[in-house]
Amino acid sequence: MIRMPLKLKWGKKSGRYELSQDVYVLSISIGEHPILQCTLTTESLAHKCIEYLRQKVDLNQVEMFGLRYQMRCNDPDMRIMRWVEMDKPLRKQLDKWACKPRQVQLAILFHTPNAFTLTDQMARSYYFLMMKLDVVEGRLTLEMEKYIYLAALSLQVEFGDYDPAIHTIDFMRSLQLLPTSICRSAQILEDLLKRVSLVHERLSGMQPSYAALLYIVDSQQSEGYGEEFFNARDEDSSEVNFGYAPDGIVVKRNYAAPLKYAWNDIKDICGSKRHLYVKCKDSTIVEFTLEDAEMVKYLVVLLNWQFRYATTDAVVHRNVPMDINNLQGGIKTFSSNPFHKLSALDLPSTRTLSCSSTRTDSVTSSQYFFSAGPASSLFNLNMDTKRPSNSLLSSLSFRTPMSTSTTVDRARAASFSGASGSSQPSTSRRFQALHLEL
pLDDT of amino acid 246? 95
Beta carbons within 8 Å of 357's beta carbon, 6+ residues apart: 56
pLDDT of amino acid 352? 35
| CA distances for 80 relative to 66, 318, 334, angstroms | 16, 31, 28
- State whether 205 and 234 are in the same domain: no
Give the closest residue to 68 by CA, choosing from 42, 31, 38.
Answer: 31
Whichever domain contains 256, its CATH number is 2.30.29.30
- State whether 232 and 299 are in the same domain: yes
pLDDT of amino acid 101? 80
Q: How many C-alpha atoms does 176 have within 13 Å on its Cβ side?
A: 17
Which region holds residue 340: left if phi is over 0, alpha if psi is between -120 and 50, else beta? beta
The answer to the question of residue 283 being in a domain is yes
Which region holds residue 237: left if phi is over 0, alpha if psi is between -120 and 50, else beta? left
Q: How many domains does the chain contain in total? A: 3
Distance CA(99)–CA(69), nearest Å, equals 8
| CA distances for 283 relative to 7, 247, 268, angstroms | 60, 20, 11
Please list the rounded mean pLDDT of every run of 10 residues in the chain (438 residues). Answer: 49 53 88 88 89 90 94 75 93 89 93 94 94 94 95 95 94 92 90 96 92 95 95 91 95 90 96 94 93 94 97 94 73 47 42 36 31 34 37 30 33 35 34 30
The answer to the question of residue 10 being in a domain is no
| Residue type, position 147, single letter | Y
Whichever domain contains 178, its CATH number is 1.20.80.10
Q: Which residues of 162-186 are buried (b: 16+ CB within 10 A; e: fewer)?
A: beeeebeeeebeebbbbbeeebeee
Residues 125/58, Cβ–Cβ less than 8 Å: no
Whichever domain contains 55, its CATH number is 3.10.20.90
The answer to the question of residue 404 being in a domain is no
pLDDT of amino acid 33? 87
Q: What is the phi/psi pair of residue 148, to 5°?
A: -65, -45
pLDDT of amino acid 333? 54
- State whether 129 and 211 are in the same domain: yes
Q: Other C-beta atoms within 10 Å of 379: how many?
A: 18
pLDDT of amino acid 195? 96
Domain that holds residue 49: 23-108
| CA distances for 219 relative to 147, 371, 425, angstroms | 10, 21, 32
Q: How many C-alpha atoms does 57 have within 13 Å on its Cβ side?
A: 30
pLDDT of amino acid 316? 94
pLDDT of amino acid 433? 31
Domain closes at, from 293, 318, 343: 318
pLDDT of amino acid 129? 95
Domain closes at, from 42, 76, 108: 108
DSSP 8-state code for residue 62: -
